[in-house]
Amino acid sequence: MEDTDNDTNSARPALLRNPDSGDVLTGSERNNFTGLVGDWARSLTANLSQHENDIPNYYLKDPFGLVTTSYVHSFQVGTGESIFEQTISRIENARFEVIFVTCFWAKSSSLEKLAKSLKALSSKSLRNNQGSSKIRVRIGLSSSSACQKLLHTNSVDGHVYTTSEWTTKLGLPDPSELAGLDLEVKSVFVKPFSVMHPKFVIVDRQLVFLPSCNVSWENWFEGCLAMSGGIVGQFVQFWYKFWNQDRGGLPAIGSHTTEDVPAVALHRRLSVVQETPVWMSYLSNCIGVEIPTVFLPSPHHTNPKFQPIPGLKAPHPPSTPLNVFLEKLFERAQFEVYVQTPNLTCPLVLDALFAALARGVDVCILTSERLMVLEQLGTAGTTTSREMKKLVKKYTKLLKASPVQDVERDGARNPAQLGRLSIKYFDAPADAKPEDPVQSHLKLTIVDEEFVVLGSGNMDRASWYTSQELGVAFWSTEVAAEIQRLVKANLIRSTKIFYPRR
């Protein structure tokens, strides 16, 4: 089926301009982006009846409502603690509202930093507002312990913590130290497997931060993207529809909204250091540039669709916006797919990557050899290392029938008969410092050096079948190049090659 203007962006002319040059898109460029989005939207609307009970499902009748633009300000890598040190400091700058959503919540230095920032924010609110109004803070989490999940209500209304529980169960400051805040903390978990996995922070509905880390102690390699523009409204709507359960109307905040503050001014506000650290990029080539962006929610599901009979094909995962977008992205890849994920056990993803290799697309995978092994066995019946061995075995067999041609990949991307497969495991160096990451937890997909997907979703069975996830897709060669440059620069000593073996 041909793509037409009515399929996608006739109502969104800003998306018909190249995000890097600002020029009106050529026919091939336009088909590349709008073709992908149109294909994705048609697949979503074809499965409407299967998802009428999804929570949230506000986008079902108009998937194009998830298509927007964003200004990308910074991308940071590091451990969860270093990510939170930067991100939480922005919370203290809030004037009206902070929305903070995470998955796992545990006693840690990250939690201590958050508690300290909330106290500082409360003091500022009391000092500036003199009791006339409080800064609204809404915190959402899903998991804090095995016992908490076992005893948790199955209702998506969740559990709202009483003020007496803030300190005893959550490790937050005493309510008397948070008197300047209108604070509510809620947890949502649907037994047996449906964890609410997204992580994001919205400040004054002007800026949104998308970290990969939880409020936890794990010393893992993480990433965090800072954005403004239309994408902020998408995050607010998602929070309102799910965490606020569409109740009471979206609360108003102060007069300064996202539209009131130019993106360049927000960028300057974030770029407070004189010299950019090696672990952070302020994406200077993207300042003031509207980037075509797709917001990709993925509702939770209680049925894991396990396939207990060996040899039978796994059931197709739920057709959520995030799942379908990644599926279409893999199908349409022309020359390269880069996937960085903690675990890789989803059958559909493994099949899609193998199909890409078979049609001449290079596939580079960076994952973990031994991370959350028991969780993988429980949710997928397999492990990442086992699936990587199986992928290599299939690829090696294919190589015998269709060897890779030794050709240089020029600008036109002269395809080989078979794509090149590269698999690396995160491997901390022997001389690593105590504060250095010991595993990789970043979730990053880059396709054809122009499409980037970041968020909470792993390439494992849990993320694709049962967990609530949230992703954001960007169409920009500049964003793709800078993110990949920063990741590679900070992982150069922390990977080992699994395939091709030397």
Q: What's the rounded Cα separation, in Å, for the pair 197 and 300?
A: 9
CB atoms within 10 A of CB 24: 11
Residue 311's Cβ-side half-sphere holds a number of Cα atoms within 13 Å equal to: 0
Mapping DSSP to helix (H, G, I), strand (E, B) and coil, where does residue 166 land?
Answer: helix
Q: What's the rounded Cα separation, in Å, for the pair 223 and 80?
A: 8
First-to-last C-alpha distance (Å) of the chain: 45
Task: With respect to residue 138, please indicate whether it lies within any of the assigned structural domains.
Answer: yes
pLDDT at 267: 74
Q: State phi, psi for 292 to the nearest 5 degrees.
A: -55, 130
User: Residue 85 sits in a domain of what CATH number?
Assistant: 3.30.870.10
What is the residue-wise DSSP string for 288-355? T--EEEEEEEE---S------STTSPPPPPP--HHHHHHHHHHHH--SEEEEE-S-B--HHHHHHHHH
Burial 170-203 (b: 16+ CB within 10 A, else e): bbbbeeebbebbebebbbbbbeebbbbbbbbbbb
The two tokens of residue 131 are 């009791």
H-run or E-run covering 168: helix 163-168
pLDDT tens sequence across 54-87: 999 999 989 999 999 999 999 999 999 999 888 8
Task: With respect to residue 190, please indicate whether it lies within any of the assigned structural domains.
Answer: yes
Q: Is the peptide bond before 251 cis (omega within 30 degrees of 0)?
A: no
- Cβ neighbors of 495 (< 8 A, separation 6 or more) are 366, 424, 425, 426, 427
DSSP H helices in 11-98? 27-45, 80-91
Task: With respect to residue 127, please indicate whether it lies within any of the assigned structural domains.
Answer: yes
pLDDT at 254: 60
Which domain range does residue 121 map to? Answer: 72-293
Contact predicate 464/305, CB 8 Å: no
CB atoms within 10 A of CB 92: 16
Pairing state of beta strands 220-228 and 67-78?
antiparallel
H-run or E-run covering 227: strand 220-228
Give how many domains the chain has, as a whole number. 1
Task: With respect to residue 370, please indicate whether it lies within any of the assigned structural domains.
Answer: no
Mapping DSSP to helix (H, G, I), strand (E, B) and coil, where does residue 40 land?
Answer: helix
Name the amino acid, one letter, at 345: T
Contact predicate 128/156, CB 8 Å: no
Nearest-CA neighbor of 452 among 234, 264, 286, 284?
Answer: 286
Please list the ranges in the chain whose pLDDT falls under 50: 1-14, 16-17, 19, 24, 27, 30, 256, 258-259, 274, 410-412
Q: What's the rounded Cα separation, in Å, for the pair 180 and 129?
A: 9
Task: With respect to residue 301, please indicate whether it lies within any of the assigned structural domains.
Answer: no
Task: With respect to residue 90, please indicate whether it lies within any of the assigned structural domains.
Answer: yes
Contact predicate 347/327, CB 8 Å: no
Nearest-CA neighbor of 207 among 281, 135, 139, 257?
Answer: 257
H-run or E-run covering 375: helix 373-380
Task: With respect to residue 256, please indicate whether it lies within any of the assigned structural domains.
Answer: yes
Task: With respect to residue 221, please indicate whether it lies within any of the assigned structural domains.
Answer: yes
Contact predicate 187/169, CB 8 Å: no
The two tokens of residue 387 are 């699936």
pLDDT at 85: 86
